[in-house]
Amino acid sequence: MKLLLTLLVVVLPSIAFAQSPIPIYVFTTHDATGLVALEDTSKERTAAVADMKKRLAKNARVRLVDTPDAATVTIEVVGAGMEWTRQGSAVTTYVGNGQAVTRQGPNTPEASARAMLRSGTFETQIDTSLGPFGRSYGENLARKVETWIEKNRATLESK
């Protein structure tokens, strides 16, 4: 009797309120003409997709699907690789006659990735940089996607 009561109190509510996994489609596109840009990032984008899928496959709250039509959320990796950014602070030097010269720190390369997350008519861009401890672009993008899904789970489940 005690076992039955424990099952009713502990197990039944968790079954009743179990969250269904959100279907996600992760992809990148390549130019249909076969032409590539001067700074082709297709290898990095393809690697980011693979890393995202690897991480998301371990998450019980999402389910990877094979087509965009089967997904509630689609994620398109649109960029990955090195981008040049300005680092450091601006320094202003005042010279004679009240003139000022402002210099910015040097351009430095930064490893980063971008993805477009879409659900219905909603669209947002996710940006990330290459993470510490050897995390890949895809892993960092996946972490941000997981955070977004948790913040929007109730709305996504109603779709």
Average pLDDT, the chain: 79
Residue type, 110: E
The predicted pLDDT at position 75 comes to: 97
More confident residue, 40 or 47: 47
The predicted pLDDT at position 19 comes to: 76
If you write DSSP's letter for every residue of 97-151 in order, what string do you get? Answer: GG-EEEEPPPEEEEEEEEEEEEETTEEEEEEEEPPGGG--HHHHHHHHHHHHHHH
For the chain, what are the domain ranges? 18-82+109-157
- Is the pLDDT assigned to residue 16 strictly greater than 50? no
Going by C-alpha positions, the residue among 25, 24, 56, 27 that lies closest to residue 42 is 27
Express each pLDDT in 72-107 by its tens digit.
999 999 988 776 665 555 555 555 555 655 555 566
* CATH architecture observed for domain 18-82+109-157: 2-Layer Sandwich (3.30)
